[in-house]
Structure formats: structure tokens, C-alpha cells
């Protein structure tokens, strides 16, 4: 690996964990080298090393592996220690994700004589996956595949959805579950980028036969983020052949992408149509309940790890409400709060959350406006925008208006009086009434619940 690749990974990390985390924790790392799957950084103090390992270890590995680097472990060298010799994780406080990641990698990759799979994160299990309405179908399908233990349920299983909604997590969960149930099976997970990287490498080294043989000898193949190979013709070609060979042998294939098969540009038609022979399921954007559940689970995890974190009431609700799309960002925000609170040794309060996360919160503020919501809802119900904010109270107009109020409350950070003002100068009690009405209806009225989901999706997308 080169400084360049680390540079690229650093950029991705900055985006993933936010600038202030990046400046505090990643910038101080000086890349020292990679050997036998271990990446070494020089750090000024072991404290930094510990923090990074514990809080960002997974993400660093994730991005390194995405960049085609088969790295399974991170080590830190402090000025006092000789480089590479010393791990920053003291005994007894070994960060869980990392420790298990290493174990998973060894087992996963070693079983098929240096098979080019990527490490499986032991932390990404079905147990740690919080199920809610937006992801229940994808979760059920993934479980079915994992529990089939090699008996093919649907081929391929194609999971798609926006960034950070849990595709990779589910694929790793399948791998982990299979490993426990059927250790004899050879389940291989890798990103489409890695597939391409291996393919190109095999071409260059004239080892295509080995490559083909290896890929045709797996029992379950999982390829993450296949949108990446669209337009890369020879890679697609090879992928297609691998795919067919495995399907013909009745081996399970699981694929993910960030969008539906029909929406991936430059994906060969024959690949697309084979994908559509299997089961295609999508992960919808998260809803408030799911986000709250995920946050709660993270906090429980921290407590289980022995962290005594005090948190005021309402902080999780605030985060779930305000950070509304990407689970990775949500987790990152919580990690940052934890880091901050433990540095200054204070309880996490709402004010602290607002201060410490102001940059993240601002990004999400900008995203959706009340006007956009009004426009989308009017279009959806085929009424005029002027009617939406006008005085008429007939049901066909009042209901969409209430739905728009509800979405404005959920998806923006505007106060109730502010929302009232934007709806033709209505009182905030009218807004409260509207929001309550929709909350009530959506549990009994399936059509309305579906409308809400659609509207939310189109607003977020
Ligand atoms: P994707 O591959 O769809 O971009 P990931 O699977 O990498 O998303 O998920 C991003 C982060 O969010 C991961 O840390 C993952 O564990 C977490 N995550 C996503 N969905 C859930 C969920 N339903 N329950 C728990 N964690 C989740
Ligand atoms: Mg992913």
C-alpha cells in the first residue's frame, strides 16, 4: 500500500466521521506501513491509539478494504515503542470490534487456501441488526438465506438501498450466521471493487485459471456494491460468467447495490435480467422509530463494554429526530458525543449534543425545507399548492395539509409556530392537532402509512 491510498482512505474517513472527529483522531496518525495484513501507524500517545482503535477501528478497516487493501488489523507505535511491535490495545480492554474482526478474517479467508475474500466483521450480526418497518423485508430475506445453510432460497438475493442503510451489515450477518451453522461451507464476501482488483491482478499475472477456479469453488458468494462494476466491461463479463457458473451449480449468490437493478446505468442487460430472476428487496430510508432503536442499541453496547456513560433524557430522541437518513452518520454522531463526554468527564446533555454536533446537524437542516414538503405533498394528492396553505377545510385538502405538517415536524427542525406560519399563518395548536391526527391515522390506515413512506422517500432521495 502507498501513501496515496492512505490519503484516499483518509479523505473517505473524513467524510464518514465528520471533520472534528477527523481532526482530533485521524490527522494525528502517521502512516508507517503495511505488512501481512497489519497496518501500522505512528501516534504521539497511546491514548490516541486506543481511542482510534476503539471508536474508528472498524471504519478504518472498512475503507481500507474498500480500497482493495487486505488489511485485517491495526497497530500503533508510540515514540517509546519500536514500530509495529506494540499494539495500542492493552490487555483486557481490547476493543471488541477489532479483536473479532481479526478472528473472523482469519477464519473466513484462510479456509479456502488464500481465497481473496474480505474480512467478515463479527460485530455485524443479525443480533446487532435492529429491525424496523423500513428494513424488515430485507432482513427477513437475509435471514432466510442464512438459515437455509446452503440450500438455495432465491438466486440471487439482491439487496439495494441508499448509503448507510445496512446492506453491508446484512451481508456480513449472513456470513457470520453461516459460519456458525455450517462451518464446512465456503462463504465468501467481497466488494465489487475487490472483485475487479483481483480480476485485473489475475490478468496481469496470467493466473486467470486460478482465478476462475477459486471463484467457482465457493458455496456462497456475496458481492457488495455491484454498481461499481457497471461500465467496466471485462470485469462485468467475468462477473457474469462466475455468476452463471455458480447459479448452475446451485450455489447461493447475494449481491448488493445502492440502487435497483433497473437503475444501474451501463449494467449489461443479461446481468440485469439474471438478477431479476432472483429476489430483489430494498432497504427503505430509516424512520424515527428505527433510528431510535439503533441508537438505544448502541448505548446498550457501550454499557455492556463497561462504559459508564451518563446521558440526559431526550438526547437520543433528539438525535433520532434530527439526523434522518444515514445510519452511519447517526452512529458517528453518537461516537463523537461519547468521545467528547468522556474527554471532559461530564454527563451528555442536550446542549452538549447541540454544540458538539453542530456541523452534522446543520448539514441535515439544510436538506429539506417546508416548501419542498408542501410541494411534494400537493403533487402527490393532486391539489394546488395554494390550496395547501389556503383556508379550505374539506377533507381532500385538509388531510394532505395535515400530512405536510406532520412531515414538516418530522423532517425539519422548524418549531411548531414556525410551521404554522408557513401554512398560511395557522396557529401552532392547529399544527399539533394535524401532527397528532396523522400519527394516529398511520397506525390504522395502511394507505396513508404507505403514502407517508413514499413521500418521505422522495423527499430524502
Ligand atoms: P450500507 O452498506 O447500506 O451502506 P452499512 O451496512 O455499512 O450500510 O451500515 C452503516 C452502519 O450502520 C453500520 O455500522 C451498520 O452496523 C449500521 N446499521 C445500519 N442499519 C442498521 C440496523 N438496522 N441496525 C443496527 N445497525 C445498523
Ligand atoms: Mg456497504
Residue 98 covered by a domain: no
Residue 168 covered by a domain: yes
For ligand 1, whether the C-beta of 285 sits within 6 Å is no
If asked whether residues 254 and 296 sit together in one domain, one would say no
Give the ligand 1 atom nearest the CA of 58: 14
Q: What is the pLDDT of residue 408?
A: 94
CA distance 287 to 460: 11
Selection from 203, 250, 45, 213 nearest residue 113 by Cα = 213
Residue 111 sits at the vertex; the CA angle it makes with 253 and 106, to the nearest 5 degrees, is: 105
Instruction: Name the residue with the closest Cα to ligand 1, atom 19.
Output: 166
β-strand 30-35 against 187-191: which pairing, if any? unpaired
For ligand 1, whether the C-beta of 130 sits within 6 Å is yes
Give the ligand 1 atom nearest the CA of 62: 7
For ligand 1, whether the C-beta of 108 sits within 6 Å is no
Q: Count other C-beta atoms under 10 Å from residue 312's C-beta.
A: 14
Q: What is the pLDDT of residue 434?
A: 96
If asked whether residues 175 and 311 sit together in one domain, one would say no
Instruction: Name the residue with the closest Cα to ligand 1, atom 13.
Output: 328
For ligand 1, whether the C-beta of 169 sits within 6 Å is yes
How many Cα atoms within 13 Å fall on the side-chain side of residue 232? Answer: 17
Output the CA 17–ligand 1 centroid distance in Å: 14
CA distance 211 to 198: 8
If asked whether residues 307 and 391 sit together in one domain, one would say no
What is the CA 384 to chain-centroid distance, rounded? 37
Cβ within 8 Å of residue 89, ≥6 positions away? 49, 50, 53, 95, 98, 99
Q: What is the pLDDT of residue 364?
A: 59
- Whether the full predicted model's pTM is greater than 0.85, yes or no, is no
If asked whether residues 123 and 243 sit together in one domain, one would say yes
What is the CA 230 to chain-centroid distance, rounded? 21
CA distance 386 to 91: 66
For ligand 1, whether the C-beta of 167 sits within 6 Å is yes
Q: Which ligand has its closest atom nearest to the C-alpha of 164?
A: 1
Q: Which ligand has its closest atom nearest to the C-alpha of 160?
A: 1
Output the CA 163–ligand 1 centroid distance in Å: 9
Identify the domain boundary among 232, 255, 282. Answer: 282
For ligand 1, whether the C-beta of 327 sits within 6 Å is yes
Instruction: Name the residue with the closest Cα to ligand 1, atom 21.
Output: 166
Give the ligand 1 atom nearest the CA of 166: 6
Enter the C-alpha cell of residue 374: 408542501
Residue 150 covered by a domain: yes
CA distance 414 to 410: 9
Selection from 263, 345, 338 nearest residue 305 by Cα = 338
CA distance 75 to 95: 12
Enter the C-alpha cell of residue 73: 488489523
Residue 85 covered by a domain: no
Q: What is the pLDDT of residue 401?
A: 97
Instruction: Name the residue with the closest Cα to ligand 1, atom 5.
Output: 166
Instruction: Name the residue with the closest Cα to ligand 1, atom 4.
Output: 164
Helices marked H in 358-461 — which ranges? 358-367, 370-381, 385-389, 395-411, 416-422, 428-444, 446-460
If asked whether residues 317 and 385 sit together in one domain, one would say no
For ligand 1, whether the C-beta of 332 sits within 6 Å is no
- 143 neighbors 151 (Cβ within 8 angstroms): no
Instruction: Name the residue with the closest Cα to ligand 1, atom 18.
Output: 166
Output the CA 102–ligand 2 centroid distance in Å: 19
Output the CA 41–ligand 2 centroid distance in Å: 25
If asked whether residues 139 and 227 sit together in one domain, one would say yes
**Helix, strand, or coil (residue 205):** coil
If asked whether residues 138 and 50 sit together in one domain, one would say no
CA distance 74 to 458: 40
Q: How many residues does the chain have?
A: 461
Give the ligand 1 atom nearest the CA of 123: 16
CA distance 316 to 326: 15
Q: What is the pLDDT of residue 365?
A: 54
CA distance 128 to 150: 23
Residue 334 covered by a domain: yes
What is the DSSP-derived secondary structure letter of residue 421?
Answer: H
* Extended beta strands in 140-209, E state: 157-161, 187-191
Output the CA 142–ligand 1 centroid distance in Å: 14
CA distance 193 to 407: 38
With cell 424488515, the residue in question is 136
Number of domains in the chain: 4
Residue 40 covered by a domain: yes
For ligand 1, whether the C-beta of 164 sits within 6 Å is yes
If asked whether residues 144 and 277 sit together in one domain, one would say yes
Q: What is the pLDDT of residue 150?
A: 61
If asked whether residues 158 and 296 sit together in one domain, one would say no
Give the ligand 1 atom nearest the CA of 224: 2
Q: Which ligand has its closest atom nearest to the C-alpha of 66?
A: 2
Instruction: Name the residue with the closest Cα to ligand 1, atom 6.
Output: 166
Q: Which of 169, 193, 222, 300 to mutate to test the pocket of ligand 1 (most atoms within 8 A of CB)?
A: 169
What CATH number is attached to the domain comprising 16? Answer: 3.30.300.180
**Helix, strand, or coil (residue 131):** coil
Sheet strands side by side (includes 30-35) = 30-35, 38-42, 73-77
Residue-by-residue pLDDT tens, the chain, 461 positions: 777 888 889 988 988 887 777 877 888 888 988 888 899 998 877 777 887 888 888 889 888 888 888 888 899 887 764 443 334 333 333 333 333 333 333 333 333 344 567 888 888 999 999 999 999 999 999 999 998 866 777 899 999 999 899 999 999 999 999 989 988 988 899 999 889 988 888 899 998 988 888 888 899 999 999 999 888 888 989 999 999 999 889 899 999 999 999 888 888 888 888 888 899 999 998 999 999 999 999 999 888 887 777 899 999 999 998 888 789 889 989 988 988 888 888 899 999 999 888 888 876 555 688 999 999 999 999 999 999 999 999 999 999 999 999 999 988 878 899 999 999 999 999 999 999 999 999 989 999 999 998 998 888 76
If asked whether residues 135 and 276 sit together in one domain, one would say yes
- 327 neighbors 165 (Cβ within 8 angstroms): yes
For ligand 1, whether the C-beta of 166 sits within 6 Å is yes
What CATH number is attached to the domain comprising 198? Answer: 3.40.50.300
Identify the domain boundary among 342, 363, 384. Answer: 363
Which domain, by its residues, includes 310? Answer: 288-363
If asked whether residues 174 and 276 sit together in one domain, one would say yes
DSSP string, 37-104: TEEEEE-S-HHHHHHHHHHHHHHHHHHHHHTT----EEEEE-TTSPTTT--SS-TT---HHHHHHHHH
For ligand 1, whether the C-beta of 124 sits within 6 Å is yes
Give the ligand 1 atom nearest the CA of 163: 4
Sheet strands side by side (includes 220-224) = 187-191, 220-224, 252-257, 157-161, 279-283
Identify the domain boundary among 44, 77, 110. Answer: 77
What CATH number is attached to the domain comprising 393? Answer: 1.10.1750.10
383: phi > 0 → left, psi -120 to 50 → alpha, else beta; which? beta
β-strand 30-35 against 220-224: which pairing, if any? unpaired
Give the ligand 1 atom nearest the CA of 162: 3
If asked whether residues 376 and 330 sit together in one domain, one would say no
Residue 103 sits at the vertex; the CA angle it makes with 99 and 109, to the nearest 5 degrees, is: 140
Residue 106 covered by a domain: no
How many Cα atoms within 13 Å fall on the side-chain side of residue 336? Answer: 29
Amino acid at each position: 500500500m502507498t501513501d496515496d491510498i492512505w490519503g484516499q482512505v483518509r479523505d473517505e474517513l473524513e467524510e464518514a466521521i465528520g471533520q472534528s472527529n477527523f481532526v482530533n483522531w485521524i490527522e494525528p496518525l502517521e502512516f508507517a506501513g503495511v505488512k501481512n495484513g497489519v497496518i501500522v501507524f505512528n501516534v504521539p500517545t497511546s491514548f490516541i491509539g486506543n481511542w482510534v482503535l476503539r471508536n474508528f477501528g472498524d471504519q478504518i478497516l472498512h475503507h481500507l478494504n474498500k480500497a482493495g487493501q487486505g488489511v485485517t488489523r491495526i497497530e500503533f507505535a508510540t515514540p517509546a515503542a519500536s514500530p509495529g511491535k506494540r499494539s495500542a490495545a492493552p490487555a483486557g480492554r481490547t476493543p471488541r470490534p477489532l479483536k473479532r474482526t481479526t478472528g473472523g478474517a482469519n477464519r473466513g479467508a484462510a479456509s479456502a487456501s488464500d481465497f481473496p475474500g474480505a474480512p467478515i466483521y463479527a460485530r455485524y450480526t443479525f443480533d446487532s441488526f435492529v429491525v424496523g418497518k423500513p428494513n424488515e423485508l430485507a432482513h427477513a430475506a437475509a435471514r432466510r438465506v442464512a438459515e437455509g445453510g446452503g440450500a438455495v432460497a432465491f438466486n440471487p438475493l439482491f439487496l439495494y438501498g441508499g448509503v448507510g442503510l445496512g446492506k453491508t451489515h446484512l451481508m456480513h450477518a449472513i456470513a457470520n450466521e453461516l459460519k456458525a451453522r455450517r462451518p464446512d461451507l465456503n462463504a465468501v464476501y467481497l466488494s465489487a471493487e475487490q472483485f475487479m482488483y483481483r480480476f485485473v491482478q489475475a490478468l496481469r499475472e496470467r493466473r486467470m485459471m486460478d482465478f476462475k477456479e477459486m471463484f467457482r469453488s465457493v458455496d456462497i458468494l456475496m458481492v457488495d456494491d455491484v454498481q461499481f462494476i457497471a461500465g467496466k466491461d471485462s470485469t462485468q463479463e467475468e462477473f457474469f460468467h462466475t455468476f452463471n457458473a455458480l447459479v448452475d451449480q446451485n450455489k447461493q449468490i447475494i449481491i448488493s447495490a445502492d440502487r435497483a437493478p433497473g437503475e444501474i446505468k451501463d449494467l449489461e442487460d443479461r446481468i440485469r435480467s439474471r438478477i431479476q430472476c432472483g429476489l430483489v428487496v430494498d432497504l427503505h430510508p430509516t424512520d424515527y422509530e428505527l433510528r431510535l432503536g439503533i441508537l438505544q442499541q448502541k448505548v446498550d453496547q457501550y454499557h455492556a463494554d463497561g462504559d459508564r456513560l451518563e446521558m440526559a433524557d431526550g438526547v437520543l430522541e433528539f438525535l433520532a429526530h434530527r439526523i434522518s437518513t444515514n445510519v452511519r452518520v447517526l452512529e458517528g454522531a453518537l461516537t463523537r458525543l461519547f468521545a467528547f463526554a468522556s474527554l471532559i468527564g461530564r454527563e451528555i446533555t442536550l446542549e452538549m449534543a447541540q454544540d458538539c454536533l453542530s456541523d452534522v446537524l446543520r448539514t441535515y437542516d439544510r436538506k429539506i425545507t417546508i416548501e419542498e414538503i408542501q410541494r411534494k405533498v400537493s403533487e402527490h394528492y393532486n391539489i394546488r399548492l395554494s390550496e395547501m396553505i389556503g383556508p379550505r377545510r374539506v377533507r381532500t385538502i385538509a388531510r394532505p395539509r395535515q400530512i405536510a405538517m406532520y412531515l414538516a415536524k418530522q423532517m425539519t427542525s422548524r418549531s411548531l409556530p414556525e410551521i404554522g406560519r408557513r401554512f398560511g399563518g395557522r396557529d401552532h395548536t392547529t399544527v399539533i392537532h394535524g401532527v397528532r391526527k396523522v400519527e394516529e391515522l398511520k397506525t390504522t390506515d395502511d394507505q396513508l402509512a404507505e403514502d407517508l413512506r413514499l413521500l418521505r422517500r422522495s423527499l430524502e432521495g
